[in-house]
């Protein structure tokens, strides 16, 4: 028996059942297909899972034989599983894996190692784009702007720009993304609650380019439930990360996802029903009522920007970073010593030894501990530099002037 867990969201116990697979009736059953409520063997699970993806790809003509397909790997289960399945279903297609090292310290490096090994084993070429090296800034730098509590949203705009830039650089004709059924339905619902109907219309399985500047985007996992991806990844030993981006927040879709999961307990088909109502009824209705969206090209980078805007959201965010003159968040011991020499305000150095738990404390407790130092520069140090860094990030989000000092 093997027990697996993925973040807070999924658990899976793999065990041999004392009966045969419901589909082939030859092998012992090992795992349940959640959406079908039947227990099957590994082979039948894989066939079921892969065939549904194949059908989706064919139905929406997501991939053509002459395509050069790019997959941006995040280290998470969705994009990795997508790459694995595409390679298995179409061993001869032109696949290119891409990893964006966004300069999120102690996170990007770990994911990069994982993704490298994964692609080597799969024998898929990997292109690594190192944002700090190529463009001179890190996603972490947004902690110094008013995006400090929504770094993810700043990051989203940067990533969209990079998708398009790298697609051109590598001559891709399609970008395949790991969006799955749960992503699509929960985003549709949350956009619906916000009244963003144009946003809903964009959640189609295939997005054709708006300008020659862009490439087609396909979502081969459009009809695949998230839980089944997790099961597949475990069954096939696809390495999936357990590290969480330090800027990840509990976004509303997550709450909606939970709500959908509850509904699903009463009605197993609810996600498919919603998907079908949205795609067959609502999206055509929206399209017939709205004119095609117009767009401009950004005067700075040449990428698409929504009507009326001369500068795209990525370039606006970069402008913001340029205005920050001190982006120091981490120092070596030597740098720290020089730094405090030139500091004309009070500071404190806190050794986190025995206080590592602070990292997981509630905002209230954190504030209680650090409020006495509110007006000072707070230097943190720990035998595990990652802890000092993550805590400094957390404190910056709450308005403290915190730094991490390594190697003390």
H-run or E-run covering 132? helix 131-135
- On whether the CB atoms of residues 79 and 179 are closer than 8 A, the answer is no
Q: Which does 229 bind (CB under 5 to 8 A by kind): ligand FES, Zn ion, none?
A: none
Q: Which one, 139 or 172, has the nearer CB to ligand FES?
A: 139
Q: Which does 41 bind (CB under 5 to 8 A by kind): Zn ion, ligand FES, none?
A: Zn ion
Cα 311 to Cα 28: distance, rounded to the nearest angstrom: 59
> How many residues lie near Zn ion (CB under 5 A)?
6
Work out which of 5, 15, 19, 24 binds Zn ion, going by CB under 5 A: 24
Residue nearest to ligand FES (CB): 155
CB of 58 to Zn ion, least distance (A): 24
- 248 makes contact, choosing from ligand FES, Zn ion, none, with CB < 5 to 8 Å by partner type, with ligand FES
* Interface residues toward ligand FES, by CB under 6 A: 102, 139, 151-152, 155, 245, 247-248
The residues pairing with 243 across neighbouring beta strands, listed in sequence order, are none
Residue 105 CB, shortest distance to ligand FES, in Å, is 12
Among 348, 339, 342, 408, residue whose Cα is nearest residue 378: 348
CB of residue 251 to ligand FES, shortest distance in Å: 11
Q: Are 39 and 21 in contact (CB under 8 A)?
A: yes
Report how far residue 241's alpha carbon sits from residue 246's, in angstroms, rounded to the nearest whole number: 14
Please identify, using beta-carbon distances, which residue of 35 and 177 lies nearer to ligand FES: 177
Compare residues 75 and 205 and give the one whose CB is closer to ligand FES: 75
- Which residues does 139 contact at the CB level (< 8 Å), separation at least 6? 102, 103, 104, 131, 151, 154, 155, 158, 247
**Under 8 Å between Cβ of 218 and 209:** no
The answer to whether 202 and 209 have CB atoms below 8 angstroms apart is: no
Question: What's the angle, vertex CA 130, arms to CA 128 and CA 134, rounded to 5?
Answer: 125
Give the one entry of Zn ion, ligand FES, none that residue 24 binds, where binding means its C-beta sits below a cut-off of 5 to 8 angstroms depending on kind.
Zn ion
Give the shortest CB-150-to-ligand FES separation in angstroms. Answer: 9
Binding mask 269-308 for Zn ion (x = CB under 5 A): ----------------------------------------
Alpha-carbon radius of gyration of the chain: 24
Shortest distance, position 36 Cβ to Zn ion, whole Å: 13
In whole angstroms, how close is the CB of 92 to ligand FES at the nearest point? 32
* Cβ nearer to ligand FES, comparing 34 with 252: 252
Nearer to ligand FES, 157 or 286 (CB): 157
In the sheet that 94-101 helps form, which strands lie side by side, from edge to edge?
126-130, 94-101, 68-73, 174-176, 216-218, 206-207
- Any contact of residue 33 with Zn ion (CB under 5 A)? no
18-26, 249-257, 326-334, 363-371 -> range binding Zn ion (CB under 5 A)? 18-26
Q: By C-beta, is 7 or 22 nearer to ligand FES? A: 7
Calpha distance 192→200 (Å, rounded): 7
The tokens of 274 are what?
A: 């919603």
- Residue 23 binds Zn ion, judged by CB under 5 A: yes
Contact call for residue 30 and Zn ion (CB under 5 A): no
44 binds, among Zn ion, ligand FES, none (CB under 5 to 8 A by kind): Zn ion
Secondary structure, 3-state, 56-98: HHHHCCCCCCCCEEEEEECCCHHHHHHHHHHHHHCCCCEEEEE
User: Is position 235 an interface residue for Zn ion (rule: CB under 5 A)?
Assistant: no
List, in sequence order, the alpha helices (H) in 251-332: 252-266, 270-276, 283-289, 313-322
Q: Smaller CB distance to ligand FES: residue 246 or 385? A: 246
What tokens were used for 51? 């065939």
Query: 155 is in the binding site of which of ligand FES, Zn ion, none (Cβ under 5 to 8 A by kind)?
Result: ligand FES
240 forms part of the interface with Zn ion (CB under 5 A)? no
Site residues (CB under 5 A) for Zn ion?
21, 23-24, 27, 41, 44
């Amino acid at each position: 028996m093997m027990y697996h867990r993925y973040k807070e969201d999924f658990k899976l116990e793999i065990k041999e059942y004392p009966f045969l697979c419901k589909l082939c009736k030859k092998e012992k059953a090992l795992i349940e297909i959640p959406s079908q409520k039947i227990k099957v063997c590994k082979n039948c699970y894989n066939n079921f899972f892969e065939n549904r993806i194949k059908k989706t790809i064919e139905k929406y003509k997501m991939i053509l034989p002459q395509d050069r397909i790019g997959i941006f790997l995040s280290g998470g289960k969705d994009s990795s599983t997508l790459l694995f399945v595409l390679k298995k279903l179409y061993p001869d297609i032109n696949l290119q894996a891409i990893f964006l090292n966004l300069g999120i310290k102690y996170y990007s490096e770990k994911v990069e190692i994982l993704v490298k090994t994964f692609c080597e084993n799969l024998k898929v070429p990997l292109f690594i784009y190192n944002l700090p090296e190529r463009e001179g800034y890190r996603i972490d730098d947004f902690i110094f702007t008013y995006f400090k509590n929504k770094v993810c949203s700043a990051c989203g705009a940067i990533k969209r720009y990079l998708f398009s830039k790298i697609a051109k650089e590598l001559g891709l004709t399609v970008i395949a993304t790991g969006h799955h059924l749960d992503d699509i339905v929960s985003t549709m619902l949350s956009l619906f609650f916000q009244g963003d109907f144009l946003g809903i219309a964009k959640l189609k399985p295939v997005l054709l380019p708006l300008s020659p500047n862009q490439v087609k985007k396909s979502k081969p996992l459009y009809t695949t439930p998230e839980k089944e991806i997790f099961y597949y990844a475990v069954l096939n030993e696809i390495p999936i990360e357990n590290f969480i981006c330090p800027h990840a927040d509990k976004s509303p879709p997550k709450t909606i996802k939970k709500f959908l999961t509850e509904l699903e307990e009463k009605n197993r088909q609810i996600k498919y029903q919603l998907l079908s109502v949205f795609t067959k009824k609502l999206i055509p209705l929206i399209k017939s009522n709205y004119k095609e969206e117009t767009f401009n090209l950004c005067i700075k980078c040449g990428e698409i920007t929504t009507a009326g805007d001369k500068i795209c959201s990525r370039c606006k965010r970069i402008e913001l970073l340029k205005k920050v003159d001190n982006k120091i968040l981490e120092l070596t011991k030597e740098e720290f010593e020089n730094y405090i020499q030139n500091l004309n305000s009070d500071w404190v150095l806190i050794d986190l030894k025995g206080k590592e738990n602070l990292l997981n404390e509630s905002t209230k407790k954190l504030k209680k501990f650090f409020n006495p130092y509110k007006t000072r520069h707070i230097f943190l140090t720990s035998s595990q530099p990652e802890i000092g860094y993550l805590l400094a990030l957390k404190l910056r989000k709450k308005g403290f002037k915190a730094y991490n000092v390594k190697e003390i």
